[in-house]
Amino acid sequence: MSKTTYSDGRDSQTESFEARRIRHNGEKKPEDNQKKGWAAEAGSMLLYIIVAVIIFLLIRHFLFVPVSVDGESMYPTLHNQDRLILNKIEKTERFDLIVFPAPDDPGKQYIKRVIGVPGDEIMVTDDQLYVNGEAVKEPYLDEAKANLAPGEVLTDNFTLASVTGMEKVPKGSYFVMGDNRTNSKDSRSFGFVDAATVTGTTDIRIWPLKDFGMVNH
């Protein structure tokens, strides 16, 4: 009886041990789980980066683009080497700042202010801008006018007909001028700007940092 009891007990212990050993071998090691966790996290992070880059490139190409000012034709509103954000989707309106291929040098881009939109009659008399027969204030010129010598004018007299040969701004075109009226190549010399060629409008300056923000219109 004692031998049978002993033999049954040892067999029972062996079976129990084998069962535990089999269950242990079937489980994954904690190190394996950690490795897979890190791999999954790294894969997700890479995917996020790729998506972010694609979104950035789409926005840059279709919506917003950084542009740099070259020259002083928009002084004092803009300065040489200022950096701005170009908005490609905003509708162009009178007095907006726009970027477009230079009509006299297609390899360049100009930044000028829209003075006349389709249908407008434009003239300047005694340094006063008239649009459709009404005097229009140009606060963006106040600083430049304050620095003029006695008897000096910022914008010479002209009519739309005298500089373009047309009484009104034609459909699909803009009449533009630089804020630095005494030193700006604009519609007074190269004529109207085709609206279809306008790259976009700009009114946000991002550099230099001390001037960061909306451009003073």
Tell me which residues are annotated as active site: 73, 112
CA end-to-end span of the chain: 108
Assigned token pair, 6: 């002993």
Longest Cα–Cα distance of the chain, Å, equals: 133
DSSP string, 106-119: EEEEEEEEEEE-TT
Distance CA 66, CA 58 (A): 14
Distances 67 to 60, 95, 139, 180 between C-alpha atoms, Å: 11, 19, 24, 19
For residues 167 and 160, the answer to whether their CB atoms sit within 8 Å is yes
Distance CA 175, CA 190 (A): 10
Distance CA 99, CA 116 (A): 15
User: Is 68 strand, coil or helix?
Assistant: strand
R_g over Cα of the chain: 36
